[in-house]
């Protein structure tokens, strides 16, 4: 039972890391579009997101290769979830925007 619990926790950790990474990417793109110097947003966000995710995987890795693979699967699932959520968010926002031609 403990082995199953470890795998579930690894999957949840991968989900959390993925949500942080891809949610942070979405946030960065949104903020950098209107920034004076967008490169600062992109570089800072990239290094912060990669550092946190690599530390997360580093702390999962001593448990063995199986939890690491499961957490990577959780990371990939989080990518799919965040992508679907942000697409629906963009569709809602584009419906609210009204374009006027002169």
Q: What is the pTM of this model?
A: 0.81
56 near 12, Cβ under 8 Å? no
Residue 60 lies in a domain: yes
> Tokens standing for 18?
């993925």
Domain contains 57: yes
> Could you give the 3-state DSSP secondary structure of residue 2?
helix
DSSP states of 12-57 as a string? HHHHHHHHHHHHHHHHHHHHHHT-SSHHHHHHHHHHHHHHHHHHHH
What tokens does 64 get? 């063995």
37 part of a folded domain: yes
Which residues span the domain enclosing 59? 2-96
Distance between CA atoms of residues 15 and 79, nearest Å: 9
Residue 101 placed within a domain: no
In this structure, what token pair is assigned to residue 71?
């957490």
Is residue 42 included in any domain, yes or no? yes
Radius of gyration of the chain (CA): 18
If one counts the domains in the chain, the total is 1
**pLDDT tens, position by position, 73-96:** 999 999 999 999 888 777 777 666
> Per residue in 10-48, pLDDT tens?
999 999 999 999 999 999 998 998 989 999 999 999 999
Task: Specify the pLDDT at position 49.
Answer: 96
Residue 102 falls inside a structural domain: no
């Amino acid at each position: 039972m403990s082995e199953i619990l470890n795998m579930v926790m690894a999957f949840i950790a991968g989900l959390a890391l993925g949500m942080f990474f891809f949610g942070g990417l979405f946030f960065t793109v949104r903020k950098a579009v209107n920034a004076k110097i967008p490169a600062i947003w992109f570089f800072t966000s990239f290094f912060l997101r990669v550092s946190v995710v690599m530390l997360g995987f580093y702390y999962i890795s001593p448990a063995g290769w199986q939890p690491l693979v499961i957490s990577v699967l959780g990371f990939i699932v989080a990518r799919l979830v965040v992508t679907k959520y942000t697409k629906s968010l963009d569709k809602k926002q584009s419906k609210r925007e009204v374009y006027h031609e002169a």
